[in-house]
Structure 1
């Protein structure tokens, strides 16, 4: 049933507050180092052409969208983000933001990759990949204002199925209102505050990619050390365990359709 090849059990809840507290205290200092070491602009919005791999993935967006739509046949078996990651409970809503992981913080989900083979093959070629998943936002969903854990990662959204009109499904990064378009990338630094509103009666589906920020040597060393610790923290290990439990639900949904 476990699909992340991990025998590591999630840590007990007790150390979580300490880990989170330490992480928050260090975040600003680490972000300052990252900013000084970055090889790309330190700005809320980043040109997709900054990354060579974005063109090839975008060229195949229709096949990626088809795989996502096939997975959404089993929508109720795709876990809400709050069920995967307890640390996202504040922003994850009431089950209206779902995530189908192919790779999470470097940990591959083999069963899910097999369900989306074209997408998986494309994302596995991305240099310095941290995470890759289909992000599904239901009609009326709101993701409140928040920011990511580190400036050492860059977040990239490829539009797959976008509500109409696009202006009614908005991501605000700092004071800028942004909209997704099918087959187009929206690349940003999620260490800046951002929020999302889907004010439509349609579902928004994107391919979300996170990659390491290109940096000079000191920045790479600091970033790799920070990510090493995040990967081993309850923030990630609990999610690995929870994803394994949801695999059974997806298999049951597939069997029910075949019956």
Structure 2
């Protein structure tokens, strides 16, 4: 039996996540089909315009993290590009938006249908949906994701055996294919992949259901406005507040100290 707490949350509390779990193999197959069959131009386009990019989260060494998705702040990426008039080096907003629609319809129709179904029945509770891949050797430095209005669910799609895990406070948590790991990312954490294979999950950010909807929408709008001003290619997912502060290191260290004290 797993134990849960304020930052490691029981996914069964969120029944709407079951729609993603029920379709996890289809979602995984769409991802693998895309990776294997997309042209070089399609791959470049995807990582140019569909990938949330962070300027604050740092890694140890040269191993990389890659991400791309189809939903940001409750909007499909084509609508999000238009709403924020994102200017890319090689594409204007209209061109980027149209290309994003083509990619989604060609490669990710099933995932899009799941998102639409859940957000229709749950009043837009799903905010961000993107694929996140940890490449071999990845070690991400301690950071936070300051999103007090949302939880982050990871649906395991491709998870190799071995040491690929999320360290958060005093716990080391693992992903499992076809299952959600749900975290409150406001707590300091540092994931890694010490295997020789890629690990890919579907990241699903969603509003905390126990918070008033008008309150979280207002917070999200203010936060995204600031993040898009700082870095439009973050797609509102990452921001300067992700950088761990001194108190975050203290909180992380204290969690380990308390665990060591109990062991002793």
TM-score (norm 1): 0.67
Higher relative contact order (CA 8 A, sep 6+): 1
**What is the aligned residue count?**
197
Task: Please name the residue that 2:260 is paired with.
Answer: none
Residue 44 of structure 1 contacts residue 192 of structure 1 at CA under 8 Å; is this kept in 2?
yes
1:1-259 equivalent positions in 2, closer than 5 A = 43-73=6-36, 74=38, 77=44, 78-79=46-47, 84-91=52-59, 94=62, 96-110=64-78, 111=100, 112-114=103-105, 115-126=107-118, 127=122, 128-165=125-162, 168-217=163-212, 220-235=213-228, 238-239=232-233
Cα shift at 1:191: 0.6
Cα shift at 1:152: 1.0
Secondary structure (helix, strand or coil) at the match of 1:201 reads: coil
Cα distance change, pair 177–86 in 1 and its aligned pair in 2 (3 A): closer
- Residue by residue over 1:21-46, the C-alpha shift from the partner in whole angstroms, topping out at 9 and shown as x without a partner, is xxxxxxxxxxxxxxxxxxxx970111
Secondary structure (helix, strand or coil) at the match of 2:47 reads: coil
Residue 139 of structure 1 contacts residue 198 of structure 1 at CA under 8 Å; is this kept in 2?
yes
Secondary structure (helix, strand or coil) at the match of 1:146 reads: coil
Q: Which runs of 5+ in 2 are unaligned?
A: 79-99, 236-264
Residue 138 of structure 1 contacts residue 203 of structure 1 at CA under 8 Å; is this kept in 2?
yes
- Residue by residue over 1:205-238, the C-alpha shift from the partner in whole angstroms, topping out at 9 and shown as x without a partner, is 1000000101244xx4432221011222244761
Task: Please name the residue that 2:249 is paired with.
Answer: none
Cα distance change, pair 102–93 in 1 and its aligned pair in 2 (3 A): farther
Whole-angstrom distance in 1 between the partners of 2:61 and 2:110: 30
Secondary structure (helix, strand or coil) at the match of 1:65 reads: helix
Cα distance change, pair 224–42 in 1 and its aligned pair in 2 (3 A): farther
Cα distance change, pair 60–216 in 1 and its aligned pair in 2 (3 A): closer
Secondary structure (helix, strand or coil) at the match of 2:140 reads: strand
Out of 229-238 and 182-191, give the one that drifted further: 229-238
Q: Which runs of 5+ in 1 are unaligned?
A: 1-40, 242-259
Cα distance change, pair 99–182 in 1 and its aligned pair in 2 (3 A): same
Cα distance change, pair 93–221 in 1 and its aligned pair in 2 (3 A): farther
Residue 129 of structure 1 contacts residue 211 of structure 1 at CA under 8 Å; is this kept in 2?
yes
Secondary structure (helix, strand or coil) at the match of 2:117 reads: coil
Output the aligned Cα RMSD: 2.8
TM-score (norm 2): 0.66
Out of 127-136 and 66-75, give the one that drifted further: 66-75
Residue 52 of structure 2 contacts residue 233 of structure 2 at CA under 8 Å; is this kept in 1?
yes
Cα distance change, pair 106–49 in 1 and its aligned pair in 2 (3 A): same
Superposition misfits of 4+ residues, deviation over 6 angstroms? none
